[in-house]
């Protein structure tokens, strides 16, 4: 069978809308093509086939059809399906995302003398018009690092670098380390592991806390103040945006047995001076102030990026693919985790923020997916490119914020399949920064900016109240002071760290 013969005999393709950014393809392969494919597969088989009593390549065709007919039709079917689908996508310039689906592909039959007909549905890139990227009004919050902010950061550093003291009695704010078992509908165990850290909610948290990546409003009441070896049961409802679809909106039970109780005893300033090698307290404060100023610059740029992203989202109308939107929840959480890591947030706080986002509605995932398509189009329009050097630099920056070696963090990102997320983050930042460079900037105080953001968040919640809106990370829009990243102490490895699910 020659390729030119097939090219002159096109398949019949019908394309219809099957939903938002979803197409249904009905493809009919002519009977002549089916016959040629079956004959071609038999010809190939006859060259290599060996059967008792016949020399290689001399087995009668009727015996081959009788013994290998099912296999030949299966192979020919798979080849024709793949080829016909690829040609239909290419000829009709469909921008397919995700994998195609079909409910009756197994029922498609391949018979000589008959055309082969099959249907498949695919999700495609949404069609939309990108709003103007020039002259967007953007407010730049002015951040000043005060002495009071430096003193507060010094206190936080003392707590962060404090030592652990094992206790036999739990008090609010203590850290429990033990065995956790998460049970979902029908008694199915979704997660079980030792070494899970849970903080007994501090008095200022009103009983709210996190366990195995789930935010529980009354964790304090359910957890109580257990002793080592005392099993407790926490009941909650799986968030609608959970990565595991079977847990969304379903009753979840967590069985937790602490093995030890630890309390953080804050380090003294003198201990930190000796540990990090500063000559005196003034030098250490200067280092803290410098890191806070660097962090403030990152937060200022983040605030401007968020304004541009909000403008693009509000100015773009598109119909999102339903199936891809449902799969977006996990990707949205990982995207936000990387963003918080880039901004230098403490690892435990990162997981707390991710847990809160997990409890948000699917609207957050929809927003992130929509922004991904917009950024993709805008980056092409602006000619944005990302190099390997930039990816390595971003990893080094995040590693410095976490007091880790870049090589170690890089391996963690590779093993968790997050390297692509770093690339996407850099591309998004570069695209938004290119738009900011052409924006109309207005410098405002942090207080005025935070007030405006709070008003916008309140208005958004009221507007979409009936749709159960996602919780917005209002604090994420606020420029925040940063903490220094002096060399990590060896005994820091012994501190309990939150583990994500």
Binned at pLDDT 50, 70 and 90, residue 427 comes out as: very high
> According to the model, what pLDDT value does residue 67 have?
75
Whether residue 102 lies inside any domain: the answer is: yes
Residues pairing with 16 in the sheet: 24
pLDDT in tens, 119-139: 999 999 898 999 999 999 999
The more confident residue out of 357 and 184 is 184
499 band by pLDDT with thresholds 50, 70 and 90: very low
What is the extent of the structural domain holding 39?
Answer: 3-124
CATH value at residue 110? 3.30.70.1050
Phi, psi for 60 (deg, rounded to 5): -55, 145
Label residue 64 by pLDDT band (50, 70, 90): confident
d(CA 76, CA 79): 5
Alpha carbon distance 261, 172 (integer Å) = 11
Among residues 236, 265, 294, the one where a domain terminates is 265
Q: Are residues 381 and 457 in the same domain?
A: yes
Residue 464 has pLDDT above 80, yes or no: no
Determine, yes or no, domain membership for 393: yes
212 inside domain: yes
Are residues 55 and 80 located together in one domain of the fold? yes
Q: Same domain for 373 and 224?
A: no
Task: Name the domain count of the chain.
Answer: 3
Shared domain check, 291 and 440: yes
| CATH number of the domain within which 255 lies | 3.10.50.40
Under the banding of pLDDT at 50, 70 and 90, the label for residue 327 is: low
User: Confidence class of residue 326 from pLDDT cuts 50, 70 and 90?
Assistant: low
Select from 265, 289, 314 the last residue of a domain.
Answer: 265
Answer whether residue 444 is part of any domain: yes
- Model confidence band, residue 328 (pLDDT cutoffs 50, 70, 90): low
* 491 domain-assigned: no
pLDDT in tens, 38-61: 888 877 777 766 677 676 766 677
Greater model confidence, 51 or 83: 83
* Residue 54 placed within a domain: yes
Same domain, residue pair 200 and 320: no
Which helix (H) or strand (E) segment holds residue 29: the answer is strand 22-29
Joined tokens for residue 399: 């590693």
Average pLDDT, the chain: 84
337 and 244 fall within a common domain: no
Dig out the tokens for 315 from the structure. 């100015």
* 253 and 278, same domain (yes or no): no
Boundary residue ending a domain (241, 265, 289):
265
- In this structure, is residue 237 part of a structural domain? yes
* Res 66: pLDDT: 75
In terms of domains, do 143 and 101 share one?
no
Task: Say yes or no to pLDDT of 441 above 50.
Answer: yes
Tokens representing residue 127 in the block: 């069609």
Same domain, 155 and 177: no
Provide the token pair at 243: 């990565």
Q: What is the pLDDT of residues 155-213, one digit of tens each?
A: 999 998 999 999 999 999 999 999 999 999 999 999 999 999 999 999 999 999 999 98
Do 21 and 92 lie in a common domain?
A: yes
Q: Assess whether 430 and 333 both reside in one domain.
A: yes
Backbone angles phi, psi at 237, to 5 degrees: -120, 135
Could you tell me if residue 286 is inside a domain? yes
Q: Is the whole model's pTM more than 0.75, yes or no?
A: no
Co-location of 55 and 192 in the same domain: no
| Structure tokens belonging to residue 281 | 């307290």
463 burial type by CB count under 10 A (0-12 exposed, 13-18 middle, 19+ buried): exposed
Say yes or no to pLDDT of 251 above 90: yes
Q: How far is CA 294 from CA 75, 297, 298, 394, 481, in A?
A: 61, 5, 7, 15, 9
Nearest CA to 110 among 69, 67, 60?
69
């Amino acid at each position: 069978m020659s390729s030119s013969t097939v090219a002159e005999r096109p398949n019949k393709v019908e394309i219809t809308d099957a939903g938002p950014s979803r197409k249904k393809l009905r493809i009919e392969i002519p009977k002549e093509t089916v016959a040629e494919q079956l004959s071609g597969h038999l010809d190939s088989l006859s060259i290599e086939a060996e059967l008792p009593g016949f020399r290689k390549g001399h087995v009668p065709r009727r015996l081959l059809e009788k013994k290998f007919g099912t296999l030949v039709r299966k192979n020919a079917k798979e080849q024709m399906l793949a080829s016909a689908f690829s040609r239909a996508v290419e000829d009709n310039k469909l921008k397919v995302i995700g994998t195609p689906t079909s409910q009756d592909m197994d029922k498609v039959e391949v018979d000589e003398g008959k055309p082969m007909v099959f249907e498949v549905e695919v999700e495609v890139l949404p069609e939309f018009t990108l709003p103007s990227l020039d002259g967007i009004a953007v407010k730049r919050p002015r951040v000043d690092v005060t002495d009071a902010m430096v003193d507060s950061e010094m206190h936080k550093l003392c707590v962060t670098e404090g030592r652990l003291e094992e206790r036999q009695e739990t008090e609010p704010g203590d850290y429990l380390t033990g065995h956790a078992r998460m049970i979902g509908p029908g008694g199915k165990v979704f997660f079980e592991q030792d070494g899970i850290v849970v903080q007994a909610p501090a008095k200022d948290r009103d009983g709210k806390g996190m366990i195995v990546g789930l935010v529980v409003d009354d964790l304090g009441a359910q957890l109580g103040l257990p002793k080592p070896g005392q099993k407790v049961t926490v009941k909650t409802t799986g968030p609608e945006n959970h990565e595991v679809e079977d847990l969304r909106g379903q009753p979840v039970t967590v069985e937790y047995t602490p093995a030890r109780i630890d309390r953080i005893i804050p380090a003294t300033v003198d201990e930190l001076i000796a540990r990090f090698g500063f000559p005196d307290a003034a030098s250490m404060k200067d280092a803290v102030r410098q890191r806070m100023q660097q962090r403030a610059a990152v937060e200022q740029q983040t605030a401007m990026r968020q304004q541009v992203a909000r403008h693009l989202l509000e100015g773009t109308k598109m119909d999102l693919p339903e199936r891809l939107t449902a799969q977006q929840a996990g990707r949205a959480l990982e995207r936000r985790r990387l963003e918080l890591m880039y901004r230098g947030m403490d690892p435990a706080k990162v997981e707390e923020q991710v847990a809160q986002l997990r409890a948000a509605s699917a609207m957050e995932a929809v927003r992130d997916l929509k922004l991904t398509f917009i950024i993709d189009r805008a980056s092409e329009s602006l000619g944005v490119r990302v190099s390997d050097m930039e990816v390595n630099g971003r990893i080094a920056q995040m590693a410095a914020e976490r007091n880790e070696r870049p090589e170690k963090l890089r391996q963690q990102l590779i093993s968790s399949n997050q390297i692509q997320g770093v690339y996407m983050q850099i591309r998004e930042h570069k695209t938004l920064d290119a738009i900011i460079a052409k924006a109309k900037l207005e410098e405002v105080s942090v207080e005025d900016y935070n007030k405006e953001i709070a008003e916008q968040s309140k208005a958004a919640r009221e507007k979409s109240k009936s749709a159960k809106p996602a919780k917005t990370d209002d604090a994420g829009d606020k420029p925040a002071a940063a903490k220094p990243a002096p060399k990590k102490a060896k005994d820091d490895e012994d501190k309990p760290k939150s583990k994500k699910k």
